[in-house]
Structure 1
Amino acid sequence: MLYYQLENFFSNFSFFILLISMLYYWINLSFHLKNNNFGTFGMIGANISIFILLVLRWKESGHFPLSNLYESFLFLSWNLTLIHFVLEKIDPFSENFAKFLGAITSPIALFTNAFATFSLPEDMKSPSPLVPALQSNWLMMHVTVMILSYSALICGSLLSIAYLILTYSNNSLNKTKTFSQVMFLEKNDTLNNVGSSPILNSTNINTDTLTLSNDLYEKNLKNINVGFTKKIKLADILDNLSYRILGVGFPLLTIGILSGAVWANEAWGSYWSWDPKETWALLTWLVFAIYLHTRITKGWQGKKPAMIASLGFFIVWICFLGVNLLGEGLHSYGFIKLNG
């Protein structure tokens, strides 16, 4: 009885703190509030809460807690909060970027946690003995590495999507900047003409007013330039960081697929059977292999590889969630079967 009370507490607490953290990051980013690290503490609290929950399930069930979709989603949510914390600490990014990062990572961590907590049936949440095919040391190796790769690929792809959104808004900002520059030049031409016109010079012109107007144009142009530069810098950080995270997620995915093939040979007598899960895992691998190929070999940067990574975001979710929801194939242990 105590176990279920503790599990319910840590499950609800992790959801609640992720929700508060997400709202804080969004409000902080929207209204430029002073950052007091509340969001970071919230993500750390959620990470610790989910970790304790997984340990409790491990102790109660007697096996590594990655045997069904509920535990997999909890582990994925834990990984996403961990990646957020690591990215905040290992890189000397600005405070504004930390808020921007939290506004991206907290919603996906919340979604995975909420899906596991509120959308899955109760019988799946209860710890159960492993089926014979899962009673192997490969369970910890294969599934852990695969979900680690999914979390890295999801996070990296999200940063690529954010890059595309930010650069799209930069196009509008660039047009605004160009328009302001043109207006500024026209204003300067007008002021110069005023100073050189003998007719206008003969009238009583308030030069202080003209100077003030000129200063306002310069200040406006300077503010636009500063905002434009900050957005370009943030976009470059997103592009670079996305590349680095996906560069970690791809080898993890490769190791996970290879270890799964070895385990499949031990359990089913075949390294590869074109199971739906295997097929989509291979497709995921190909998408991100293309991404890394364009970055490393072709030297692509910016929007083109970001579009490939954005496609990979949806492919990862189909591989991780969509195939499992169907409950078809050899990888359907502990997952939902829609056909009853």
Structure 2
Amino acid sequence: MIWSALIWFFVAFVSLSLFGAIFVFKQESSKLNLFLSRLFPLLANLVLLSFTVILWLQLERPPMKTMAETRLLYAVFVGMVTWIIVFKTKSKWMYFLGYTMSAVFLLVDLLHPEYQQKNLMPALQSVWFIPHVVVYMISYAVLGAACLSALKGLWGLHRKKAIWQNDLDLAMNLVYPGTALLTIGMLLGAIWAKIAWGNYWSFDPKETWALLTWLFYIITIHIHYAFPKRQKLILWMLSLSFLVLIITWLGIRFVPAAMQSIHVY
């Protein structure tokens, strides 16, 4: 099973990311330097993507069943989102934070691998399963990048650096599409639930926290729209919203009441 080779893909990903960092942080604006600063992280992303594709082929199902598999998928999308952001903004700190986040999730998978089964329970064989999970993971990656930008903005406020406003602007530019994707993911999940279990929504612990996550981001967007000068509050809300998201995704399974959830399998 390819999963046993994850350590080598991890080493390749980190190595290529570090090579890319050399050129991203290099004080040189030549075309070659710019090309290499984009090439190496792109190759790093392709390494993870190739691992995911091979795993999919070996399992003969989408690698989206276990927490380890979704962490892998998240690492892939975080890398892709980071590459796009750096390509658009040339943000050095986002390069560092984004690829570090991706590497951390891969490291967790190395330390806590899970047994890979080929069989999926009938409910997970729905055609709605793949788009639901993929859209959610992309939204989580985008919102994760927004959180990183918000945390940097809070640090800038603490250090009284004027550049924090750019961090807030970037965070909000990410939150809008991230929340839109989060909404689409919820709607796809509701359709899947109706087909698989007969109800669009059952308000089990996982679904309740998913709704709470969505509400946190909606409230943050409304605060930004109605009170644009409350920048510090907005930055804190962005950070808190992502914490709620992480609890929804990774933490809720440890809550005793969630053990009977249809989302724990």
Q: For 2:73 and 2:245, locate their aligned partners in 1 and report how far apart those are by CA, in whole Å.
A: 16
Tell me what 1:195 maps to: none
Q: For 1:151 and 1:50, locate their aligned partners in 2 and report how far apart those are by CA, in whole Å.
A: 15
Tell me what 1:12 maps to: 7
Pair 1:108 & 2:98 matched: no
Pair 1:279 & 2:211 matched: no
AA paired with 2:123? A
- 1:70 deviates by 1.6
Q: For 2:233 and 2:20, locate their aligned partners in 1 and report how far apart those are by CA, in whole Å.
A: 29
Percent of residue pairs identical = 27
- 1:323 deviates by 1.6
**Contact (CA 8 Å) 2:146, 2:172: kept in 1 or not?**
yes
Pair 1:139 & 2:129 matched: yes
Q: For 1:316 and 1:33, locate their aligned partners in 2 and report how far apart those are by CA, in whole Å.
A: 35
Q: For 1:105 and 1:43, locate their aligned partners in 2 and report how far apart those are by CA, in whole Å.
A: 11
In structure 1, the gaps of 5 or more residues are 171-230, 334-340
Q: For 1:313 and 1:51, locate their aligned partners in 2 and report how far apart those are by CA, in whole Å.
A: 25
AA paired with 2:113? L
Q: For 1:78 and 1:15, locate their aligned partners in 2 and report how far apart those are by CA, in whole Å.
A: 11
Pair 1:53 & 2:51 matched: yes
1:218-249 deviation per Cα after TM superposition (whole angstroms, max 9, x unaligned): xxxxxxxxxxxxx42x3222111110111111
| Residues 141, 33 of structure 1: alpha-carbon distance in 2 compared, 3 angstrom cutoff | closer
Q: For 1:119 and 1:26, locate their aligned partners in 2 and report how far apart those are by CA, in whole Å.
A: 28
- 1:74 deviates by 0.8
Say which one has the larger Rg: 1
Q: For 1:79 and 1:163, locate their aligned partners in 2 and report how far apart those are by CA, in whole Å.
A: 23
**Contact (CA 8 Å) 1:14, 1:46: kept in 2 or not?**
no
Tell me what 2:237 maps to: 308
**Contact (CA 8 Å) 2:16, 2:43: kept in 1 or not?**
no
TM-score of the aligned structures, taking structure 1 as reference length: 0.69
1:262-304 deviation per Cα after TM superposition (whole angstroms, max 9, x unaligned): 1111111111111121111111101111110011233345212
**Contact (CA 8 Å) 1:18, 1:42: kept in 2 or not?**
no
- 1:28 deviates by 9.0
Tell me what 2:251 maps to: 322
In structure 2, the gaps of 5 or more residues are none
User: Which of 194, 201, 215 is the matching residue for 1:265?
Assistant: 194
AA paired with 1:129? N
Q: For 2:224 and 2:151, locate their aligned partners in 1 and report how far apart those are by CA, in whole Å.
A: 16
1:132-156 deviation per Cα after TM superposition (whole angstroms, max 9, x unaligned): 1111001111111111111111110
SS at match of 1:273: coil
Q: For 2:195 and 2:125, locate their aligned partners in 1 and report how far apart those are by CA, in whole Å.
A: 11
Q: For 1:140 and 1:251, locate their aligned partners in 2 and report how far apart those are by CA, in whole Å.
A: 18
1:150-169 pair list within 5 angstroms: 150-169=140-159
Tell me what 1:331 maps to: 263
**Contact (CA 8 Å) 1:295, 1:305: kept in 2 or not?**
yes
User: Which of 299, 302, 307 is the matching residue for 2:228?
Assistant: 299
SS at match of 2:159: helix
- 1:250 deviates by 0.3
**Contact (CA 8 Å) 2:23, 2:37: kept in 1 or not?**
no
Q: For 1:310 and 1:7, locate their aligned partners in 2 and report how far apart those are by CA, in whole Å.
A: 33
> How many residues end up aligned between the 2 structures?
257
1:186-201 pair list within 5 angstroms: none
Q: For 1:306 and 1:28, locate their aligned partners in 2 and report how far apart those are by CA, in whole Å.
A: 30
| Residues 161, 24 of structure 1: alpha-carbon distance in 2 compared, 3 angstrom cutoff | farther
Q: For 1:63 and 1:255, locate their aligned partners in 2 and report how far apart those are by CA, in whole Å.
A: 23
Q: For 1:54 and 1:17, locate their aligned partners in 2 and report how far apart those are by CA, in whole Å.
A: 14
- 1:33 deviates by 5.1
Tell me what 2:63 maps to: 65
| Residues 272, 309 of structure 1: alpha-carbon distance in 2 compared, 3 angstrom cutoff | same
AA paired with 1:248? P
